[in-house]
Structure 1
Amino acid sequence: MTTIKDLSLAIDESACAIDFSDFPEDVQLCILSFLTPPEVASFACTSKRFDSLCKSDGKLWFNMCDRRWGSKTRIKKWGNGKITYRNLYQTLSDWENLIGFWRQGGFTTSPLLIFFEWGPSFVTGFRVSPAKDGTYGVVKAPFLWMSLSPEGQVVNFLDPEGRPEILEDFADSDRFKFPESELVPVNVRLVGKTYFVVEEDTSFGARRRLSSGSGRVNGSVVDEDVIGAAESSGSPGTSPDQAVVEIYQYLANRTSPGADRASRRQRRREKQRQARRKLEPQHYVKIVDCSPTTARPLQGLWKGIYDDMALGFYLVAYDNIGGISCQKVCSPSENLCHIMRFISKQPVFWAANPTFIESPISPEEQNLYTSRVHLRPSAAEDHTHQHLPLTGNEGVSRILRINFSHDLALPEWVGPNPPHAHGRIWQYGDGTFGFGSLQDSFIRDLKHVAKNGCLLDTVDPLS
């Protein structure tokens, strides 16, 4: 039965109710910035006032971009601030999934490991490889830039040389600048969330010249034949000024004696040069679980010593049946057999049951740990510490039994002489771990490659 007290409470609540339209506009924009584009479109249908607010590019769509990516990149700097924020929102939504680690599939001499991160007004993909200075350092060399021009067009450039000074030019520029001819314009084709293809953009020169107005000479529109000639004579990366010179040169050659033969020879030479520069399509697959979690503390990309005592990368993954496997992620500069191991996915170790031995640790397990030598880079700061304590942040927090008998757990990975060995994973208090076989007296300690979206221990490529 409804009482007078209940009715009075209902009246008080209705009197205190505030309509969304009563909020100040900045509060409305803050709330609406959490919506998705389809939700914004639906909300715009509720009234003419909200329709106008939802179409406000400088208000709502800026707030949506700023809330989602403002802490990662400079929203107002993209496209020199001349593009619509609605276009920017769509582009950054598509590119957001690129952030993180990717590996190139198949047998290739191109960089196998790529790391994408946000820049001030672009997304950058870096080659990542172990440093050869005897430390846990990694070399971070720029590889691919993705941005937007002031006209709102997607522009992607690949640098085969990985020169850090070009990255500085991109970061310090207040406006979009056409890069040097050594950069290759490319198309980046995203396929779902875990796969993309990089292909050379052979039409970029013509599109860039047209958008810059170089399709008009002395107020007259140049015909398609002229544009085609300029495109064929200009290599990928031709600047707008060079394009104008090429068009004038083509027009002059067409009216001079022997122009046809000279023009054909020039186009043939340039086409041959372009053919030599042609970039083969490159395919990349995302390393989805590249960081450890509470439920999967060992998963992710790690760095540690290989058999030849050089620094390398390890990928630890949990499968759907409760097992843990570890693979080497090799670079093209390493021994060919290492690359073939990576392609054939032969694991380093296998754990059928990820159940840890928790504290207190038995004397037998303590002896297994303390009797072993830690393998680390020769110049690492703590390489002189041959034995780590069982307590503290660097001490062992728990232990996991592993085996190297891959023929029992993974029959499809059996080689002519499958290994038969057992070992341990020793997880330390700081979240890192080491592993080793019981057949030898060593522990390979692994460290984080990246943390909180940033590469650790980066080394200048020039050094």
Structure 2
Amino acid sequence: MNPPNDTVSIPFSDFPEDVQLSILSFLTPSEITAFSCTSKRFNSLLNTDSKLWFFLCDRKFGSKTQINKWGSGKISYKRLFKVLSELENLIGFWRRSGPSKNDDDDFVTPRLLCFDWGPCYVIGSRVSGSKSGGYDVVKVPCLWVCLDSEGERLSFLDLNCKVRVFDDLGCVEDELIRVGVNLTGRFHFVVEENVCFDKVGVVEDTMSVRDKMIGSVGNQLMADMYQYFANRTSPAGERWLRRQKRKEKERKKWEREHYVKIVNCSPTPSRPLQGLWKGICDDMKLGLYLVAYDEIGGIACRRIEDSSKPFSGFFPMFWTSNATFIESPLSPEEQYIYDSRTHIRPPEASSDHIHGDEAVSRILYIKLSCDLVIPDFADAYVNTQQVEGRIWQYGNGTFGFGFLRDGHIVDLKPITRNDNNIET
């Protein structure tokens, strides 16, 4: 009999199979491949889809989505694990990069997107300020990424943001447009219309005719001739042509869009101002702001807008190259600068000044954006004092900013918690 303090070594092969699978589910796919080469038994065990790969999918994604519903439950767990690992890069916040050619009177492409897990898809939502005049942030679903029964990725765009219920194959409403969501690395993706498909993934009439009559994409002339004479002789030909023209017109509205991931969405102790924030602007509308630190310690704040106006979503609100705070207590001059300003708040908000946990704990000097973006203009026409401003950080971690030439403070509240959770 072994003494009580002695340890007993048990070979891994002697563990029950469910324990083995649970342990192996923490390995990476490349490590699993290497381990499967150690014996025929483990090779058979690790290549059984309903065992190890189910454990992998369930452990990593089971709490986020319903793994049995992806692809109508017809795809292997090995394939599902690979695809879900790729789609996991979409989860989080993304901002549109560059100007948009898609903005018109009917719809405006979102400047800020938030991706979350759905029951059997990844859902992208337009994030914008509420029009009610308060601090509410609105998330409206507009983009879905799912899988078909073969494990191939399907993506659908709702320009009107009206669809609320979406199934795993995307067959819900005719208003959806089939698009491609193409990830380039971990921090960039492109949304572009899939030209081979019409609404809700239905192949265009012209493509189906060519496939059936010709069998290949060659011999373009024969396909065009068939389509022309079929339309001339068919009683429904005129209606078909009108429908095709309408589809072509709709298709031309959508241009390729580029999105860049917002990696640091929430403040940290070393970077207390970074992340996504919301605040009431001087026009009494809720604005969304992105504050980012650069590699040398500077800070820039930009306002994110759904607008096609010049510089919208690009023009920084303020910046500083020195992120050194001045701690409380403030000097009499700085205290006067703060006390002489009014806080922009929603109409229904309390007229009280600042709550106890929002007392100013420290300040930071900032500058107006014009001397950064248009330095010649700033030097010639703008008084140096007018472009100076302050950030007032409060005891609860939030902050407000304002400029010496203005008489107000824009108080900002966090949008996110733990980077991906949004307060709506």
- TM-score for the superposition, normalised by structure 1: 0.76
**Correspondence for 1:218:** none
**Correspondence for 2:250:** 277
**Correspondence for 1:181:** 174
Write the mapping of 1:7-22 to structure 2, written as runs, cut at 5 A.
16-22=8-14
Q: Read off the aligned partner of 1:298 and give its amino acid letter.
A: L
**Correspondence for 2:187:** 194
**Structure 1: gaps spanning 5 or more residues:** 1-7, 216-221, 230-253, 458-463
Do residues 69 (structure 1) and 57 (structure 2) align?
no
> How far is the alpha carbon of 1:398 from its aligned partner?
2.7
**Correspondence for 1:143:** 142
**Correspondence for 1:88:** 80
**Correspondence for 2:117:** 118
- The answer (yes or no) to whether the contact 1:111–1:127 under 8 Å persists in 2 is yes
Alignment partners' CA distance in 1, 2:407 and 2:199? 63
Q: Of 20, 44, 47, which aligns to 2:39? A: 47
> How far is the alpha carbon of 1:298 from its aligned partner?
0.4
Q: Read off the aligned partner of 2:361 and give its amino acid letter.
A: S
Alignment partners' CA distance in 2, 1:405 and 1:125? 31
**Correspondence for 1:225:** 213
> How far is the alpha carbon of 1:157 from its aligned partner?
0.7
Instruction: Give CA deviations for 1:181-211 in whole Å, capped at 9, x if unaligned.
Output: 211111111111221111222324699679x
> How far is the alpha carbon of 1:227 from its aligned partner?
8.4
> How far is the alpha carbon of 1:137 from its aligned partner?
1.1
Q: Read off the aligned partner of 1:105 and give its amino acid letter.
A: S
Change (3 A) 1:18 1:398: farther
Instruction: Give CA deviations for 1:8-63 in whole Å, capped at 9, x if unaligned.
Output: 99xx86x6222222222222222212211111111111111111121121221122
Q: Of 289, 296, 299, which aligns to 2:274? A: 299
Change (3 A) 1:425 1:177: closer
Alignment partners' CA distance in 2, 1:161 and 1:302? 26
> How far is the alpha carbon of 1:446 from its aligned partner?
0.3
Instruction: Give CA deviations for 1:93-134 in whole Å, capped at 9, x if unaligned.
Output: 111111111122222222211111111111111111111111
Q: Give secondary structure in 2 for the equivalent of 1:203.
A: coil
Q: Give secondary structure in 1 for the equivalent of 2:392.
A: strand
Cα RMSD of the aligned pairs, angstroms, is 3.1
Alignment partners' CA distance in 1, 2:139 and 2:231? 48
- The answer (yes or no) to whether the contact 1:405–1:418 under 8 Å persists in 2 is no
Alignment partners' CA distance in 2, 1:208 and 1:287? 30
Alignment partners' CA distance in 1, 2:232 and 2:360? 77
Instruction: Give CA deviations for 1:386-406 in whole Å, capped at 9, x if unaligned.
Output: x114xx433333322323376
- TM-score for the superposition, normalised by structure 2: 0.82
Q: Give secondary structure in 1 for the equivalent of 2:301.
A: strand
Structure with the higher fraction of residues in helix conformation: 1
Change (3 A) 1:26 1:428: farther
Instruction: Give CA deviations for 1:204-263 in whole Å, capped at 9, x if unaligned.
Output: 4699679xxxx9xxxxxx96228899xxxxxxxxxxxxxxxxxxxxxxxx9xxx856235
Do residues 262 (structure 1) and 233 (structure 2) align?
yes
Q: Read off the aligned partner of 2:191 and give its amino acid letter.
A: V
Do residues 323 (structure 1) and 298 (structure 2) align?
yes
**Correspondence for 1:310:** 285
Change (3 A) 1:266 1:296: same
Do residues 340 (structure 1) and 310 (structure 2) align?
yes
- The answer (yes or no) to whether the contact 1:405–1:419 under 8 Å persists in 2 is no
**Correspondence for 2:363:** 399
